Amino acid sequence: MSPELTNLLPHSRIRAFRRDYFLRLATISLVLLTIVVVAHGLLLAPAYMYARGEVQRETVELERLTASLQTSEEKEVRARLATLTTNVTYLNRLATTTTASAAIRSVLSVPRTGISLSGFTFAPPGKDAGRMALSGTAATRDTLRAYALALGQLPFVTSADLPISAYAKENDIPFTISLTGTLRP
């Protein structure tokens, strides 16, 4: 016997047979696909209902929390937050400004033979240059003039102003020198 089977049907019948076979196969596949989609849809329905219920419950909870936050406690918290924001802004500005102790320490490092300092005032630089005033007494005019020139030579001092009236006396001269500049040593 020959392993090849001989088909005695004409070619038009063979094509019709194949077409019917693939049509049945496509119909069964489509029906099975429809059954699978419907079954999955039915199985997803409880999960959808649960998720929808959770969303509604969370929405109600959010509305309740929002309503409770509108009380006076929220106003107090907002006021405290505004105060804290102002304080942080002020502290950030302080971090970049010149400290009085560093500026005074630098001024005190200038040799001052015959000069006795008794008072300091300090205004940090802001929109304009910083200001510092030194007051005290000088032994002589020459020591006062030398001290004023030495202060004017500091790199962070733009000008050292000494009023001309300070030179009126010869000995034990009271003075006030005004320093302007960045005052950042």
Together in a domain, 132 and 149: yes
Q: What is the pLDDT of residue 2?
A: 60
**86 and 22 in one domain?**
yes
Average pLDDT, the chain: 87
Q: Give the helix ranges, DSSP H, for 97-182.
A: 100-108, 141-152
Tell whether 50 is covered by a domain: yes
DSSP-assigned letter for residue 98: P
Give the tens place of pLDDT for each residue, 23-51. Answer: 999 999 999 999 999 999 999 999 999 99
Q: How many residues does the chain have?
A: 185
Q: Is the per-residue pLDDT at 54 higher than 80?
A: yes
37 and 73 within one domain: yes
Tell me the C-alpha to C-alpha distance, in Å, between residue 83 and each of 74, 80, 146. Answer: 14, 5, 49
pLDDT given for residue 164 in this prediction:
87
Q: Do 115 and 86 belong to one domain?
A: no
Q: For 139-154, write each residue's pLDDT tens digit.
A: 998 999 999 999 999 9
Residue where a domain stops, chosen among 96, 117, 151: 96
Q: Under a CB-based contact definition with an 8 Å cutoff, are residues 129 and 182 in contact? A: yes
Q: Which domain holds residue 34?
A: 9-96
- Answer yes or no: is pLDDT of 64 > 60: yes
Domains in the chain, number: 2
List, for residues 99-139, the tens digit of each pLDDT value: 788 888 889 999 988 999 999 999 888 778 889 999 999 99
Kindly state whether residue 159 falls inside one of the protein's structural domains. Answer: yes
Among candidate residues 137, 134, 135, 148, the one with its CA nearest the CA of residue 172: 137
If asked whether residues 23 and 84 sit together in one domain, one would say yes
